[in-house]
């Protein structure tokens, strides 16, 4: 059995890294804009960005202007029309996508769907000056409590992509279900649907929950905790440590599409562990207008 002092010490180091992560130059809190494109769009001018944008056969295209400001795509100024490959540049790895900059700002595209199942793309802008001006040293969390490190059992299943409702009305995000995590709290059994995030090192299992603290002492749209596989095959998880719960990115910025947790992940208990809600609440303004 791992000693409590060790568990608490590891958590303190992680907590420091978590606070630092929130101030990264191109992290979640650097987001300053989220534009939307749909299939068939052509010659679209996006506020604050150079050139024009289009979507053709599921491909996001940027056409450089004849002169003036331009995007730097994978280290070189864009010439003519180039593809801006969607990806998760700043989170879990980004597949084929490459770094894209407009001055000091980073530009990325992400795929989403509408409630009707149509494909859409967001063009997001991150500005390091935005994250640099913010102070997260006061972001509170419950003290580490080893009682919230709970034995668990993972039952893997065939990967299933689900178009999950998000905080951005009318927009859905693909979440990949990879199985069920079973555990007990106060003698009662619970089962969570787990998400599998594609990362450069493999699949990262994530639990996304709401509980009776949500909207009170913790963020209302829920919290997430990254889990660890106990084997190389990705078929065993031994623990869920609720002390590592963090607020979703939408707790810190308006320019995201955080999925809402599935109903089976709503726990009818107070999880008095993990990150509390930020002192400053985001006044959410929708960026997507359904046509």
36-72 pLDDT, tens digit per residue, is 999 999 999 999 999 999 999 999 999 999 999 999 9
Q: Are 242 and 225 in contact (CB under 8 A)?
A: yes
One domain for residues 190 and 204: yes
Q: Tell which residue, 220, 222, 211, has the closest CA to residue 269.
A: 211
Domain assignment present for residue 189? The answer is: yes
In which residue ranges of the chain is pLDDT below 70? Answer: 88-94, 290-291
Same domain membership, residue 11 and residue 145: yes
Q: How many domains is the chain built from?
A: 2
Q: Are residues 10 and 144 located together in one domain of the fold?
A: yes
- Single out the residue in 105, 132, 159 at which a domain terminates: 132
In this structure, the answer to whether residues 36 and 121 fall within a common structural domain is: yes
Q: Is the pTM of this model over 0.75?
A: yes
The predicted pLDDT at position 165 comes to 96
Q: What is the reported pLDDT for 72?
A: 96
If asked whether residues 258 and 142 sit together in one domain, one would say yes
pLDDT at position 202 is 84
pLDDT of residue 92: 46
d(CA 50, CA 68): 8
What is the rounded distance in angstroms from the CA atom of residue 60 to the CA atom of residue 48?
18
Give me the half-sphere count of Cα atoms (radius 13 Å) on the Cβ side of residue 155: 8
According to the model, what pLDDT value does residue 95 have? 72
| Token pair in block for residue 172 | 């859905």
Question: In this predicted structure, what is the pLDDT of residue 200?
Answer: 74
- Evaluate whether residue 246 is within a structural domain: yes
The tally of CA atoms less than 13 A away on the side-chain side of residue 11 is: 24
| Structure tokens given for 46 | 């996006």
Instruction: Determine the structural domain holding residue 183 and report its residue range.
Output: 4-22+137-265
Q: Give the torsion through C-alpha atoms of 167, 171, 176, 181, to 10 deg.
A: 30
Same domain, 180 and 155: yes
- Mapped onto helix, strand or coil, the DSSP state of residue 72 is strand
Report the distance separating Cα 192 and Cα 163, nearest Å.
17
The per-residue pLDDT for 291 is 46
Residues 6+ apart with CB under 8 A from 10: none
Confidence (pLDDT) at 278: 95
């Amino acid at each position: 059995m791992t000693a409590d002092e060790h568990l608490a010490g590891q958590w303190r180091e992680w907590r420091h890294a978590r606070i630092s992560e929130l101030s990264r130059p191109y992290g979640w809190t650097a987001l300053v804009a989220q534009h939307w494109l749909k299939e068939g769009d052509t010659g679209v001018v996006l506020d604050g960005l150079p050139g024009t944008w289009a979507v053709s056969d599921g491909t996001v295209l940027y056409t450089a202007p004849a002169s003036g400001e331009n995007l730097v795509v994978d280290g070189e100024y864009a010439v003519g029309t180039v593809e801006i490959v969607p990806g998760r540049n700043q989170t879990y790895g980004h597949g084929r996508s490459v770094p894209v900059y407009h001055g000091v700002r980073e530009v990325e595209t992400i795929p989403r769907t509408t409630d009707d199942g149509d494909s859409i793309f967001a063009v997001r802008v991150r500005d390091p000056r935005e994250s640099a001006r913010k102070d997260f040293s006061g972001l509170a969390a419950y003290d580490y409590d080893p009682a919230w490190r709970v034995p668990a059992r993972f039952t893997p299943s065939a990967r299933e992509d689900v178009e999950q409702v998000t905080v951005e009305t009318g927009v859905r995000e693909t979440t990949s279900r990879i199985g069920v995590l079973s555990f007990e709290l106060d003698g009662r059994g619970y089962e969570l649907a787990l998400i599998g995030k594609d990362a450069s090192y493999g699949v990262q299992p994530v639990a996304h929950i709401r509980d009776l603290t949500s909207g009170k002492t913790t963020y209302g749209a829920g919290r997430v905790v990254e889990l660890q596989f106990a084997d190389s095959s990705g078929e065993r998880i031994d623990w869920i440590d609720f002390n590592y719960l963090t607020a979703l990115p939408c707790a810190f910025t308006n320019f995201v599409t955080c999925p809402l947790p599935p109903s089976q992940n709503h726990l009818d208990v107070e999880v008095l562990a993990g990150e509390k809600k930020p002192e400053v609440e985001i006044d959410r303004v929708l960026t997507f207008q359904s046509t």
